[in-house]
Every structure is written in C-alpha cells, then in structure tokens.
Amino acid sequence: MANQRNFSPELERATGEKFPAYEELHTDETNQFLQRVCKKMNVECPPPLTNARMIDKLTGEFIESTCVNPTFISPCPHHIFPRLSSC
C-alpha cells in the first residue's frame, strides 16, 4: 500500500514556518518567503529562484528523504508544476 504525504504541513513541521495557502504558491510574495526559508534552513537552490524550484528543493531535503516507497506527495501545485496535470 502506498503512503501519502501533504507537502505543506510536512514542510511547516520541518522548517517551523507557516507556508502560504496553496492558491498563493505562485505569487511574488511566496517567492520572497521561499527564499527566506531556504536561507534559514541552509537549503541551496541555484538560480533561477523560481517558486517551483525552491519548493522542489525543500521537498527533496525535508520530505523525500524520509519517504518509504511508494509515497505520493500531494497536492500537486498545478499552477507551479503544470506538467503534473494527472495529480
């Protein structure tokens, strides 16, 4: 049986930060927030510092490393990762 993890609460637990609402993940304000969180947590993210890239780096660092196969991380932010339309 597959596990399922919700990325926002998982990242909030790992970082101690309240993440923006799902609908706000594409905004410039979220970009600034994610840059601060990456810096605080010493997560290196090479340019360009897009919201998708920073969320991916944070997810890889704090969620994927604790997953047992198979695990689904949801919800898929379609407006950030448009190719994930099947999530």
User: Is 14 inside any structural domain?
Assistant: yes
Q: How much is the average pLDDT of 22-41?
A: 95
Q: Please answer whether residues 43 and 58 qualify as being in contact, where contact means their C-beta atoms are separated by less than 8 angstroms.
A: yes
Residue 81 domain-assigned (yes or no): no
SS3 string, the chain, reads CCEEEEHHHHHHHHHCCCCCCHHHCCCHHHHHHHHHHHHHCCCCCCCCCCHHHHHHHHHHHHCHHHCCCCEEEECCCCCCCCCCCCC
Instruction: Check residue 70 and give its pLDDT.
Output: 73
Sign of CA dihedral 5, 15, 45, 80: positive
57 occurs within a structural domain: yes
pTM listed for this prediction: 0.79
Does the pLDDT at position 11 exceed 80?
yes
Residue 75: what pLDDT?
A: 66
Domain region containing 66: 3-74
- Give the chain's domain count: 1
Q: Is 25 inside any structural domain?
A: yes
Specify if 87 maps to a domain. no
Of residues 2 and 41, more confidently modeled = 41
Residue 82 inside a domain? The answer is: no
Res. 85 pLDDT band, cuts 50 70 90: very low
